[in-house]
Amino acid sequence: MLEFWRDGPTKAAIVDFVERVVSDVPPEERVAVFDNDGTLWCEKPMYVQLDFLLRRFKEQAEADASLRDRQPYLAAYTGDLGWLGDAVTKHYGGDDADFKLLLAAVLSAHHAITVEEHASRVDAFFAEARHPTLGRQYTSCGYAPMVELLRYLEDKGFTNYIVSGGGRDFMRPVTWQMYGIPRERVVGSSVGLRFEGADVYTTAEPEFLDDGPMKPVRLWSRIGRRPILAAGNSNGDIEMLEFTRGLRLLVRHDDADREFDYVTGAEKALDLAAAEGWTVASMKSDWTTVFDPG
């Protein structure tokens, strides 16, 4: 049971909570929600979806020279990952000036195609792309202890959902393979869709950015139950964790040898965890491995 988790206060808090729930809470109320980026898989040195989008931005800039002096196409065309990383970091610090440029490009990157074509582009990306520093396929960058936790919860009658700021339709093609979570249990950011002829098409119009205070709103609209367990890793997960009645688990990235060591974008969440007694899972101290050793 939870062999990838070292014995200690964090593992004990998880097991004690789950065993108590089995006795006190009916199965239909055993809802657990998990952020994805930085909670179930790597988010450094950049988000996995950002790598997918960067390739598209570069394609667009190569086809249209007028884009090459505008962000984020300039960054993609020249390989300036610093600008892109800073845009996201500034967003979590409250400065959305660059993030708005990025978001506008994201919305137009894959518009006016069928949802099946979008899924095929995602499939092609995951079949080819590898993590830039770990050298692993992205589908092998899921955190083994968290996947093990998902299986443990299932065995105890929980229903697990992903509630992420990442794109819903970017995650769906791989969530079953990586986490055993089916497409219909993925809640994420999305663009508007339209039906024409016999197909559903993407648009360049935003529907939801599933981050911060939108997370509990979206999970309620999709799930209809308040979670009793939630796991996140960043400031964007605070509201989802606060909405949860039960175990609040925060993953801390503090293992530079096996993954990454950073707190940027998680400062407020870590302060709240300390003040309110949330359970913090240290990658370095609480996990015997980060990635599947097989």
CATH number of the domain enclosing 237: 3.40.50.1000
Residues 153 and 184 in one domain: yes
Give the model's pLDDT for residue 211.
Answer: 94
3-state helix, strand, coil split of the chain in percent (to 5) is: 50, 20, 30
**70 in the same domain as 53:** yes
Whether 159 and 177 map to the same domain: the answer is: yes
Residue 8: CB atoms within 10 A of its CB come to 11
What pLDDT sits at residue 56? 92
Sequence-ordered list of residues with C-beta below 8 angstroms from that of 99, at least 6 positions apart, any chain: 87, 88, 90, 91
**264 and 162 in a common domain:** yes
Do 85 and 229 belong together in one domain? no
What is the total residue count of the chain? 294
Find the domain containing 90 and state its range: 48-108
Task: Specify the amino acid at residue 122.
Answer: V
Clarify whether residues 218 and 95 are in a common domain: no
Which CA distances in Å does 13 have to 29, 124, 131, 189, 270? 20, 40, 32, 31, 17
- Asked if 162 and 219 sit in the same domain, the reply is yes
Tell me what pLDDT residue 242 has. Answer: 98
Low pLDDT (below 50) residues in the chain: none
Sequence-distant (6+) residues with CB within 8 A of 162 are: 33, 34, 35, 36, 40, 171, 175, 179, 181, 185, 186, 187, 188
- Measure Cα distances from 131 to 48, 245, 251, 259, 262 in Å: 8, 35, 20, 12, 18
H or E segment at 204?
A: strand 199-208
At 55 the pLDDT is 92
Give the pLDDT confidence of 75-87 residue by residue, as tens digits.
889 888 778 778 8
Contact 13, 22 (CB under 8 A): no
Are residues 58 and 162 located together in one domain of the fold? no
In a domain, 3, yes or no: no
Structure tokens at 279: 């359970």
Q: How many domains does the chain have?
A: 2
> Which pLDDT score is estimated for 96?
86
Instruction: Give the residue from 108, 126, 154 where a domain finishes.
Output: 108
The residue whose two tokens read 């400031």 is 235
Q: Are 18 and 215 in contact (CB under 8 A)?
A: no
The reported pLDDT for the residue numbered 61 is 92
pTM: 0.93
Q: How does pLDDT run across 214-270, given as a tens digit for each residue?
A: 999 999 999 999 999 999 999 999 999 999 999 999 999 999 999 999 998 999 999
Q: How far apart, in whole angstroms, are the C-alpha atoms of residue 105 and residue 56? A: 10
